[in-house]
């Protein structure tokens, strides 16, 4: 498969540049028949006995704005990965004069550059008084997607209502639509809920280059699959329910855990670690039966995953969404699709 097979024309006007005042006011396009429901009414797409799984990751306030010591020149460090101890990987802007040994003061955080920049990527040693995560949350700014040029009422608008475990560089945006009102309707329908954690990396926004899809090097992400979701899936299978993922991150986490399990097909085992699973057409889904997700950018691995679920119908779904003025990408509308078995 060529990466060009996953290209389409996305007009700038279709990219949501603002967040809706009410999260559940977004629209949902149903992939099977191209019908539409308001997100508040997604319970109409679910059945008693289904299991809905969300991602509890929280976006880290990873953009640190600082000054170089002693020159006073401005510099920005975007923390992308915690390595070990006080060491972090970061993308540096204004880094022309940064070298190993350079010091950047970011409020109460002192960042000492450990490695010379390579393509803007550096390793830094961070120091502060007290807890480092608390300091980052206090001094940092949440990184927003590169295609979003609007403004938000608060940084919390880019966090989901489930956001608990800090560690992501981007929000699992399919869950941005959820509100307590939505959850109440789901609960009244008799749908069980559970959660996983997948730390979303910045590479989620990176388009695939020219060439074969199979040659694309997909990024790895940390996942945590606890006993609670393992048992929830077991109960769901026993009652012949469906496992519905909220977002591509949940699909990747559950399918990764399914591949490591020694249990019966359709089940998963506990798992903590990295996954580099690349779900592309031809993949056989073992755990997930359905998916709520936003509309994705052209030539991304996220769109490839959608094609793995619905096949070539993704083009009809996306064309219909554009024709009906659905909002695309992070703050856009949602779609619901089921795995072709």
Containing H/E element for 138? Answer: helix 132-139
* Residue in the block written with tokens 């008693």: 48
> Does 184 lie in the same domain as 212?
yes
> Does 81 lie in the same domain as 46?
no
d(CA 213, CA 232): 34
**Residue 167 backbone dihedrals phi, psi, to 5 degrees:** 165, -10
Burial of 205 (0-12, 13-18, 19+ CB in 10 A): middle
Asked, for residue 8, whether it belongs to a domain, the answer is yes
> Does 280 lie in the same domain as 259?
yes
Residues 104-149 have pLDDT tens digits of 999 999 999 999 888 889 999 999 999 999 999 999 999 999 899 9
Angle in degrees, CA 46, 52, 54, rounded to 5: 140
Instruction: For the chain, give the number of residues.
Output: 341
Domain limits for position 85: 63-139
* Residue in the block written with tokens 């755990």: 287
Q: How far apart are the first and last CA of the chain?
A: 21
Q: Check which CATH number belongs to the domain holding 98 and give it.
A: 2.40.10.240
What pLDDT was estimated at residue 263? 46
Q: Check which CATH number belongs to the domain holding 23 and give it.
A: 3.40.1780.10
Based on DSSP, count helices (H) and strands (E) in the chain, helices before strands.
6, 17
**Residues 111, 126 contacting (CB under 8 angstroms):** yes
> Does 225 lie in the same domain as 171?
yes
Taking all residues of the chain, what is their mean pLDDT, rounded to a whole number?
93
> Does 277 lie in the same domain as 182?
yes
Asked, for residue 148, whether it belongs to a domain, the answer is no
Q: Which of 113, 139, 165 is the last residue of a domain?
A: 139
Supply 218's token pair: 């997909």
Burial of 258 (0-12, 13-18, 19+ CB in 10 A): buried
> Does 104 lie in the same domain as 55?
no
What pLDDT was estimated at residue 216? 86
Asked, for residue 201, whether it belongs to a domain, the answer is yes
Other C-beta atoms lying within 10 Å of the C-beta of residue 173? 23
pTM: 0.92
What is the mean predicted confidence (pLDDT) over 19-39? 98
């Amino acid at each position: 498969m060529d990466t060009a097979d996953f290209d389409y024309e996305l007009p700038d006007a279709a990219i949501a540049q603002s967040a809706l005042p009410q999260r559940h006011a977004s629209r949902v396009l149903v992939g099977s028949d191209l019908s539409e429901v308001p997100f508040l009414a997604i319970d109409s797409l679910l059945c008693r006995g289904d299991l809905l799984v969300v991602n509890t990751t929280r976006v880290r306030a990873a953009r640190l704005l600082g000054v170089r010591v002693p020159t006073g020149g401005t510099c920005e460090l975007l923390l992308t990965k915690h390595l070990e101890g006080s060491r972090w990987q970061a993308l540096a802007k204004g880094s022309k004069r940064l070298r190993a040994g350079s010091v950047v003061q970011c409020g109460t955080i002192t960042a000492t550059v450990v490695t010379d920049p390579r393509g803007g990527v550096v390793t830094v040693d961070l120091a502060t008084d007290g807890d480092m995560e608390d300091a980052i949350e206090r001094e940092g700014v949440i990184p927003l997607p590169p295609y979003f040029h609007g403004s938000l009422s608060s940084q919390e608008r880019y966090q989901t209502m489930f956001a608990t475990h800090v560690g992501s560089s981007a929000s699992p945006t399919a869950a941005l639509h959820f509100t307590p009102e939505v959850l109440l309707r789901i609960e009244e329908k008799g749908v069980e809920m559970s959660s996983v954690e997948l730390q979303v990396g910045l590479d989620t926004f990176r388009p695939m280059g020219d060439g074969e899809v199979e040659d694309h090097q997909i990024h790895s992400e940390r996942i945590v699959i606890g006993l609670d979701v393992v048992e929830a899936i077991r109960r769901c299978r026993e009652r012949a329910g469906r496992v519905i993922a909220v977002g591509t991150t949940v699909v990747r986490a559950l399918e990764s855990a399914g591949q490591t399990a020694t249990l019966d097909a359709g089940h998963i085992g506990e798992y903590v670690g990295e996954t580099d699973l690349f779900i592309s057409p031809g993949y056989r889904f073992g755990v997930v039966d359905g998916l709520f997700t936003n509309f994705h950018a052209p030539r991304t691995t996220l769109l490839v995953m959608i094609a793995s679920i619905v096949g070539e119908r993704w083009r009809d779904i996306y064309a219909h969404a554009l024709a009906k003025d659905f909002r695309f990408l992070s703050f856009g509308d949602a779609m619901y699709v089921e795995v072709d078995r």
